[in-house]
Amino acid sequence: MPDFVLRRRLLLALLMFGMLMLIGRAVFLQIYDKQFLQQQGDKRHVGVVTVPAYRGKILDRNNEPLAISSPVESVWVNPQHFKRNKKGELDKVALIKIKQIAQWLSVSKKKMKMLLNAKTTKRFAYLKRRINPQLAHKIRDLQVEGVYFEREFKRYYPAGAVSAHIIGFTDVDDIGQEGMERGYEHTLKGIAGKKRVIRDGKRQVINYKDIENIKDPVAGQDLILSIDQRIQYIAHRELQRTVIKHKALSASLVVLDAKNGEILAVVNQPAFNPNTRKGLTANVYRNRAMLDVFEPGSTMKPFVVAAALDGGYIDDAIQIKTKGFFRVGRNLVRDIHNYGTLDLTRVLKKSSNVAISKIALKMPKEYFWGVYKQLGFGNTAHAGFPGEASGRLLDYQRWHAFEQATLSYGYGVSVSVLQLARSYTALADDGILHSVSILKRNDDYDAKRVFSADTARKVRAMLEHVIKKDGTAYQARVDGYRVAGKTGTVKKAVAGGYADDRYLAVFVGMAPASNPRFVIAVMVNEPTAGKYYGGLVAAPVFSKVMAGALRVYGVAPDKEDTMPILLTRAE
């Protein structure tokens, strides 16, 4: 047999053997090793992705939204998937489109240069997190290889700056950073879900129809606050006007429900817009009304009178000689004027430091300290806001006579605006001190009696005279309503003592005085436009906010001399 025939047959035999081997291998892989291959294929083309959960809403007491989450998309790139030529250069059309996307998203030139570099090893980089749907649609229409989208949620604050200090804000990963967003992170955040998806060779998800849900996302719980956005807006507007008018450094205001201690409004200036992160600093977004403390000054005097009356250390008919000064040991307590002899009503009306010091020194130190302690001074108000201030109240065992005297007119004790407002519920609700809450509730189960009802009513009646023409807070009056309150003009503490040209203007009051519905505390920090007295700076803010709150809640007037006019108008 010729050699060429043998070689041909050998070659054919080898080819047939190779084909049989391939067929055998294919049969083995398709039948006997099928499960292994499917597992390997799934590892490369089937993946598990996280499904973001909806963050719970924050609502005011009337279910008005204060913080909501909207579905958005984030844009990311894999530079390894960019279309390039054989030299590694980016395709010209793709380059134009990518530069257009970078311009729309305001991506820095430095970042784009790094991502477009042919030598980059990066496989994932965000171009922009949480863009609006319209922009995402424009980018998607360009159909650029290597540019992908990821669904997320973006937090939006409909009330903007009005409620910003209460609500706070979240970071780029939707985690609460300040305010209620931070304090109730565990309640608001949901539980992310998981789903199985199919990807192509470039790791892009290509199958959306046959996705397998592994675990459904669980939405976060909604949070209903005690805040009334209507009153919040009025307070924000008036406090802003006051800070501008008096060129103040800052200001804070709190509105409480006098009947159950709910916080209806908390406002601070300067304010900020939580929908943008530009210019955000702790000095701007800090909730001063709850976190900062100050010496409350003469706003403490009503409690000294109430404590002395309740303890039987003075009676209603007491007459106190002032002379304009009072020596306590080696120290001197002074009044602005010599008020002569004062009864209790005029002690509060004229805000006499001398008279109130003499009353304070009639009480045992432990008893006096105990009343302040019962009113909540030196302890956090436990309103439910993260980081609340506790203030400072020196232990009575370290008091000297002069410390006891100065404490009576609000020096040597520090409080937050919230604590100060809360303490006045003991006078507003006939001796019952209410706990406070930033969450909506119907009843206050932690309320406690501090003064007798008779004492609270007497002191409240005295505080009505503070609002009279010859009192210190005539500008706190509200047409149609009886108002009770107390001013405070406090020298700011500085290194080595107190400043002679830096003040806090304070006012705390309630209305209608016959049966108070609201308590409002106002503190204006360092007014510099000329006026700095509490009755001239803080009291007018109280008047406007209180008038708005009474109107919103439809509280009936209680001032007798205005009733006929109001009835005539109604007719």
**Tokens standing for residue 249:** 């450094």
The encoded tokens of residue 84 equal: 């390039």
Task: Report which of 503, 505, 510 is spatially closest to residue 476, judged by C-alpha positions.
Answer: 510
pLDDT tens by residue, 16-51: 887 888 776 766 666 655 565 555 555 555 566 677
Give the pLDDT score at 359: 96
- For residues 145, 147, 152, 153, the Cα torsion angle rounded to the nearest 10 degrees is -130
CA dihedral angle for residue 254, residue 57, residue 274, residue 228, rounded to 10 degrees: -20
Please return the burial class of 177, using the count of CB atoms within 10 Å of its CB with bins 0-12, 13-18 and 19+: middle
Q: How far apart are CA 411 and CA 404, in angstroms?
A: 10
Q: Would you put residue 125 in left (φ > 0), alpha (ψ -120 to 50) or beta?
A: beta
Is the separation of the CB atoms in 116 and 127 below 8 Å? no
Domain 229-570 in this protein, CATH class: alpha beta
Which of 247, 256, 241 lies closest to 541, judged by CA? 241
Peptide bond into 270 cis (omega under 30): yes
446-491 per-position pLDDT tens digit:
999 999 999 999 999 999 999 999 999 999 999 999 999 999 999 9
For the chain, the structural domain boundaries read 48-224, 229-570
pTM for this one?
A: 0.83
Whether the per-residue pLDDT at 354 is higher than 70: the answer is yes
The active-site residue out of 74, 226, 250, 298 is 298
Query: Which residues contact residue 560 at a Cβ distance below 8 angstroms, ignoring those fewer than 6 apart?
Result: none
Active site residue 543: no
What is the Cα Rg of the chain in Å?
Answer: 36
pLDDT of residue 49: 66
On whether the CB atoms of residues 192 and 55 are closer than 8 A, the answer is no
Q: Are 463 and 486 in contact (CB under 8 A)?
A: yes
Q: Residue range 167-176: average pLDDT? A: 89
Average pLDDT rounded to a whole number, residues 280-296? 91
Say how far apart CA 25 and CA 38 lie, in whole Å: 16
The predicted-structure confidence for 304-345, as pLDDT tens digits, reads as follows: 999 999 999 999 999 999 999 999 989 999 999 999 999 999
User: In the Cβ-directed half-sphere of 273, how many Cα atoms lie within 13 Å?
Assistant: 6
**Separation CA 241–CA 360 (nearest Å):** 38
Rounded percentage of the chain residues whose pLDDT exceeds 70:
89
Domain 48-224 class? alpha beta
Contacts 24+ apart (CB under 8 A), 38-46: 45/198, 45/199, 45/200, 45/201, 46/196, 46/197, 46/198, 46/199
Q: Extract the tokens encoding 122.
A: 């990066």
**How sure is the predictor about 547, in pLDDT bands with cuts at 50, 70 and 90?**
very high
Alpha carbon distance 339, 349 (integer Å): 11
Is the omega angle on the peptide bond into residue 512 within 30 degrees of 0, that is, cis?
yes
